[in-house]
Amino acid sequence: MITNTELTQKGNVFPSKIISFSKDVDKIYFTTEDDVVLQITILRDSVLRFRYTTTGTFARELPYAITQHASIGYNELDIEEETSFYVITTSKLICKVSKKDLKIKLYDRADGSLINEDELGFHWEDSYEFGGNIVKMSKVSHDAESYYGLGDKPSHLNLKGKRFENWVTDSYAYGKDTDPIYKTIPFYTGLYNKKAYGIFFDNTFRSYFDFGQERRNVTSFWAQGGEMNYYFIYGPKMTDVVEYYTDLTGKPDLPPLWALGFHQCKWSYYPESKVKDIAAKFRELQIPCDAIYLDIDYMEGFRCFTWNKDYFPDPKRMVKELEEDGFKTVAIIDPGIKIDKDYWVFKEGLENDYFCKRADGPYVKGKVWPGECYFPDFTNPEVREWWSGLFKELIEDIGVKGIWNDMNEPAVMEVPNKTFPNDVRHNYDGDPCSHRKAHNIYGMQMARATHHGVKKFSHPKRPFVITRAAYSGTQRYTSTWTGDNIANWEHLWIANIQVQRMAMSGFSFAGSDIGGFAEQPHGELFTRWIQLGTFHPFFRVHSSGDHGDQEPWTFDEDVTDIVRKFIEFRYQLLPYLYTAFWDYTEKGVPLIQSLVMYDQEDGNTHYRTDEFIYGNKILVCPVLEPNAKGRRMYVPRGEWYNFWTDEKIKGGKEMWVDADIDSMPIFIKEGSIIPKYPVQQHVDEKKIEEIVLDIYYKEGKENSQFFDDSHDGYEYTRGRFCLRTFKLTGRKDQLIIQQHKEGTFASDCKKFKLQIHGLPFEIKNIQLDNQTKSLEHLQINGCLTMIIEENFAELDLNAK
């Protein structure tokens, strides 16, 4: 049933006038004549939560999206009663609540400008069939307002003019604008008058967002049950909005560094000899790779937590041998448990009553890869605990390093709605409900239980999990990929959009099936896709295998060489990516930023889709068309160095950039200092005693950081990290680099090899920590090069 805000207008009910008001610490309550209560919680000066009930009482808090660790607290709170409004003022926001109809207006406290205003505001419709309400909210949308976010929607980056549905769905071979697909992230960022705000509609029922499609000047969102419950996050910077949303719904721990390397996957590599051959080929061709995946065929009849002993007679030995060669093994685990009385997981689940049931009692039965299955109720904490424990053998005994959760929408084959029927019952952490409410978080709870299991049995190392289905907050537990895409150029465009959108939705650790899952790419498409993937936080080739191979050497030698070059580049940039990842885990800073997020004040960025900033200093733009020798792209404001030529360009305009098949447009922001490793065949292959710092001269100041630790384990949480902050100050005749070090981790790095780009003067004098150094330390090797001790405090290069 698709409810439509306008079509169902007749059934809509609206709140009447406010008759009482009260305050309880950080919560303010407004009650209307007809017993509607609006609760406004002040989380921060710039973050308010709005929650409405039509019954006089509120439901239990939802247990899934919001983390306990969110930072809350405000500086100022003042409430005044005016003739027509109650006025709530914090140090950042003014919120007016209309006495006659509960409508909200939100203003920027600093300049009094209107940020967001209710149109019809909160309204609802009785849900005759299920009880409760269909809850609705509509807001005024302005002509120049833009919208971003919502997870994995494969549509234009700017959501304006479109309507979307949120219902986690297995979407094999989806296409542009297919909706809904695998994830539900009911959070968007609005941008109006250069100011950004966010709305997170935390409601796990099937929900909808309409950004001016139904009525041009109205943005609305609604859900088929539950409460109208949304968080309003004021920026005004887009990055602040996304960072606070991520703080609210949770940041992940650092992944092990190997998880940021290159991963090779296929459905499926088996038997063992095939897996070994693939691994050997990577090493033979010297193409870096850190992980190899086992898809469903490693199991015995697709029974989770078993091994097919014909294909894999001694998994422990195989995993160990792969590990000795620098490969981590990642294995798939699906939610469907085969109905088989002789299968221990099935027996345990049955004995303990852990499987989901229909409303009238029978178990939910559904077909997946193993045939008829039952499905654990991951919304039950006891079931999650049990599930976590099932990983002991795989992780602790056999040594598998990562788990891949798939089909967890949950996907059910050969049924019209591709998932459980609505009447299925769930525990929902002690607040039992139907599948209507639990569907969108089912996959998330599976990934959560998996994460806990992998974490427990990997200790003291860090876990690695990847999931297909997700709801807001899933980024706390796992990485993700964009599901079953297709090997065509349109899907390269989609992959680029989706990973940017996920980053804007708080979930940065994402990537696509490089090369396409369904069908087979030709060498050119595969190459362009590897180029894009080099700059995606999660970097994995995967394919269904139905249409041929998809390894870096499948095509021709030229392709192999270019692919190797880009994968090598990924490995060189690992310290930069790891630093960005650390920033994400600390502050929620997205790992990649769409241009609009990078420079929201420049209207030219609002509808750009292809270019993005990797970390906060590297601008990339994938080539998305066949036979290209380059492309037009928009370079955002500021000065940038062409990575390949060191040519310096002024942004704020669209331009042609050469990029033959062995290249792609990459630019470095002036003033940046980029740490680089030497090429390795896998993470930590080498003891790295010398790290390159690529320094891009700027007249002015710029800060860069470089975070390092032991690349696995939790010592970094106890101060065993090394965070270097570099301050670059450039003048016409001088370049100063200062280093400030924090943390107690002593890495292998003894020296920095500085590579200085774009220096506009000839160096006559070098001062290193106040000592004059001979000019012999300088070498010209393409660019100016100099090797210095890693613990320097200040380097001063000047023309005097």
Residues that bind ligand GLC (CB under 6 A): 267, 295-296, 332, 406, 468, 483-484, 542
Indicate the residue whose CB is closest to ligand GLC.
267
Nearer to ligand GLC, 247 or 551 (CB): 551
Q: Is 532 helix (H, G, I), strand (E, B) or coil?
A: helix
What is the closest distance, in whole angstroms, from the C-beta atom of residue 537 to ligand GLC in the complex? 18
Quote the CA–CA distance of 524 and 714 in Å, as a whole number.
Answer: 41
Q: Is 503 left (phi over 0), alpha (psi -120 to 50) or beta?
A: alpha
Nearest distance from C-beta of residue 378 to ligand GLC, angstroms? 18
Pick between residue 246 and residue 450 the one whose CB is nearest to ligand GLC: 450
Two structure tokens written together for 390: 């099932």
Report, in Å, the least distance between residue 172 CB and ligand GLC: 6
CB of 468 to ligand GLC, least distance (A): 6
Min dist CB 311 to ligand GLC, Å, is 15
Q: Cβ 512 to ligand GLC, closest distance in Å?
A: 11
| Minimum CB distance to ligand GLC, residue 171 (Å) | 9
Judged by CB, which is closer to ligand GLC: 139, or 542?
Answer: 542
Catalytic position from the list 108, 377, 484, 694: 484
Report d(CA 267, CA 406) in Å as an integer: 12
Task: Give the number of other CB atoms < 10 A from CB of residue 780.
Answer: 7
Q: Are 65 and 472 a contacting pair, CB within 8 Å?
A: yes
Cα–Cα distance measured from residue 75 to residue 77, given in angstroms and rounded to the nearest whole number: 7
CA Rg, the chain, in Å?
27
Tokens, residue 279? 């691994």
Q: 393 in helix, strand or coil?
A: helix
Determine contact, residues 237/157, Cβ cutoff 8 Å: no
Specify whether 556 is catalytic: no
**Cβ nearer to ligand GLC, comparing 148 with 539:** 539
484 is catalytic: yes
Reply yes or no: is the peptide bond before residue 460 cis, omega within 30 of 0: yes
Element (H, E) at 453: helix 435-458
Strands lying side by side in the sheet with 366-368: 337-338, 371-374, 366-368
Provide the minimum distance between the beta carbon of 370 and ligand GLC in the complex, in angstroms, as a whole number. Answer: 11
Residue 470 or residue 784: which is nearer to ligand GLC going by CB? 470
- Residue 288 is which amino acid? P
CA distances from 24 to 96, 196, 350, 650 (A): 18, 29, 46, 54
Q: What are phi and psi of 501, to 5 degrees?
A: -65, -40
Active-site annotation holder among 210, 409, 790, 796: 409
Tokens of 576: 């930069």
List the catalytic residue out of 406, 524, 551, 709: 406
SS3 at position 414:
coil
For ligand GLC, the closer of residues 394 and 673 by Cβ is 394
With CA atoms as reference, report the closest residue to 636 among 590, 672, 604, 591.
604
Element (H, E) at 592: strand 592-594
- Of residues 162 and 439, the one with the C-beta less far from ligand GLC: 439
Integer angstrom CA distances of residue 210 from 117, 199, 403, 727: 16, 13, 36, 45
For ligand GLC, the closer CB: 469 or 577 = 469
What are the residue numbers of the active site? 406, 409, 484
